[in-house]
Structure 1
């Protein structure tokens, strides 16, 4: 007889205790079904939480329970609703032989399914963590969360702007204030090392875009709540147009994808004194590039928040926005209603 395992949960977030249970099940059954519920306990959408499991365990059959019962309870009416719901998800003639959990509901669910009640690490001795603990402080419990999951728990904040508009200074100042990581502008470092007569080749812009994203990904895994990023692939794309009148294919694609990469986009205005260093093109060029960045953001339909004034004024504005922001919520819609 085929051994078919099933487990369920909110997986909000998915952590190494869940992984231990799934890996135990995969050693014991021929096939495993994971049912994942919609929930309000954290804002990460259901399909993203389901995606974590699919990517980490591609052989598992993941079922997104968008209309599943809300929460867990030992109330018998709730138990019956949950049992009927889970039974309704199974394919015709399908028989679950093992029900996996580390919670009290393992008893009634396994009984309803006619399956072995397989409790895994119920006392949390193998993996001493819970989703509640991680939600309270993801950074503190970082070791209990895979890199794939952790990166989606960080609010990614990018600062755009023309040359000499204070992006680097602001990014580093905010990282210090919030005691977190930041990603500096990879393109500036690359240009300083590879430029010849203040020029770089077209193919170099692909390398810059990829290198910058790699730098971000490394910093993400060290970040606490926020990652502050100095420029992105869209800026690199615009520099390629400025240098060569066109952009390479990979960079163009990465710039398009960047529209969804960040939670918040800030635009540093050109209202501060211009710092005329050897690697910059002049104040007039800054003014033109600033206008081009705004036009590009509007064309891409990317909402942005302008930052003006002194460093302290800009930091206060960022603080204000962050205080009212939650990832995966309709932040701009909330602003309009207010």
Structure 2
């Protein structure tokens, strides 16, 4: 065949879709991939179309299309609905010689088309997955999600609180337990003392944001972060008396699914970057108030080091289960 067509919602794009498109390429010189969408789709169209572009832009044999799904086919028998779809295909892709699909509607669709319908893996033997199953529980079907799609479903957990409460240690422990990566605290690499200009703290905020965006590409289902931009703003306010607009904008670029607020019931360990040992209770209240002011979900983590790890682990597991 010269031209084939693959169409679907790709919500999300998964390895079954990729196998179908590769199958179509084995038959055709060129494959048109058409993504249907509605304004109310649970995964926005621009994100899904972006995934297709990232994977296929460099392939000259594939052409990508978007199509608004405004068919008045709700409640219609499949035989009637597929007739409507066939009319759309005839009008939009008149020179297509074959339609490739891996859904049961391919059979009734074939009765209305003036081109061949080629069915692929209807019983999900080669790739045992569906987009519905992934949306229901992406973590159970993680291996079927392409690498570039995974960040959309990756949860972000921020280890949060004032100085010397064990954020760094707990971040690393959780990342090891959940077999994933973490975003460390950039400020620890950038500063050797607490004498610095405000430009430096803005740079730290920029680098911390960039690091989270980089690490989420590598994460396995969940990413743990040793700090966040609220923390950066709190210390900026303490040292300089105000928070520059740049840090507020950076905060909006990264959101977290869960904050683990670490209590101050741990020994104070001094170092050259810690200034607020005498104000631990005050700083803890400040950190807590900033979360509550933003209505951000958080869980208080306290106790000895082992108790903290167990409590944090359970909260992350609860989040991943969706309850």
Using structure 1 for the length normalisation, give the TM-score: 0.72
**Aligned twin of 1:145:** 146
**Aligned twin of 1:73:** none
Decide whether aligned partners of structure 1 residues 108 and 294 sit closer, same or farther in structure 2, where only a CA change above 3 A counts.
same
Cα distance in 2, alignment partners of residues 262 and 312 from structure 1 = 24
Write out aligned runs for 1:209-220 (5 A): 209-220=205-216
Decide whether aligned partners of structure 1 residues 275 and 15 sit closer, same or farther in structure 2, where only a CA change above 3 A counts.
same
Which runs of 5 or more residues in structure 2 are unaligned? 54-63
Cα distance in 1, alignment partners of residues 106 and 114 from structure 2 = 12
**Does the alignment pair 1:50 with 2:45?**
yes
Cα distance in 2, alignment partners of residues 85 and 266 from structure 1 = 51
Quick check: 1:264–1:304 contact (8 Å CA) kept in 2?
A: yes
**Aligned twin of 2:66:** 61
Cα distance in 1, alignment partners of residues 302 and 226 from structure 2 = 16
Cα distance in 2, alignment partners of residues 51 and 68 from structure 1 = 24
**Aligned twin of 1:28:** 30
Displacement of 1:136 after TM fit? 6.5
Quick check: 1:267–1:305 contact (8 Å CA) kept in 2?
A: yes
How many pairs are equivalent? 300
Decide whether aligned partners of structure 1 residues 136 and 318 sit closer, same or farther in structure 2, where only a CA change above 3 A counts.
closer
Decide whether aligned partners of structure 1 residues 223 and 95 sit closer, same or farther in structure 2, where only a CA change above 3 A counts.
closer
Cα distance in 2, alignment partners of residues 307 and 278 from structure 1 = 26
Residue among 230, 241, 245 paired with 1:245: 241
**Aligned twin of 2:256:** 262
1:31-87 Cα shifts (integer Å, max 9, x gaps): 75322599xxxxxx94426343221346521546899879xxxxxx85336426746
- CA RMSD of superposed structures (Å): 3.9
1:6-39 Cα shifts (integer Å, max 9, x gaps): 6124x3541355346568689736x75322599x
Displacement of 1:313 after TM fit? 1.9
Quick check: 2:82–2:105 contact (8 Å CA) kept in 1?
A: no
**Does the alignment pair 1:181 with 2:181?**
yes
Which runs of 5 or more residues in structure 1 are unaligned? 39-44, 71-76, 332-338
Cα distance in 1, alignment partners of residues 244 and 71 from structure 2 = 41
Write out aligned runs for 1:1-338 (5 A): 5=5, 7-9=7-9, 11-19=10-18, 28=30, 32-35=33-36, 46-48=41-43, 50-57=45-52, 60-63=65-68, 79-80=78-79, 82-83=81-82, 86=85, 90=88, 94-97=91-94, 98=96, 99-118=99-118, 129-131=127-129, 135=138, 140=143, 145-147=146-148, 149-192=149-192, 195=193, 198-258=194-254, 261-326=255-320, 331=323
Cα distance in 2, alignment partners of residues 53 and 213 from structure 1 = 24
Decide whether aligned partners of structure 1 residues 85 and 66 sit closer, same or farther in structure 2, where only a CA change above 3 A counts.
closer
Decide whether aligned partners of structure 1 residues 48 and 171 sit closer, same or farther in structure 2, where only a CA change above 3 A counts.
same
Q: Tell me, what secondary structure is at the counterpart of 1:203?
A: helix
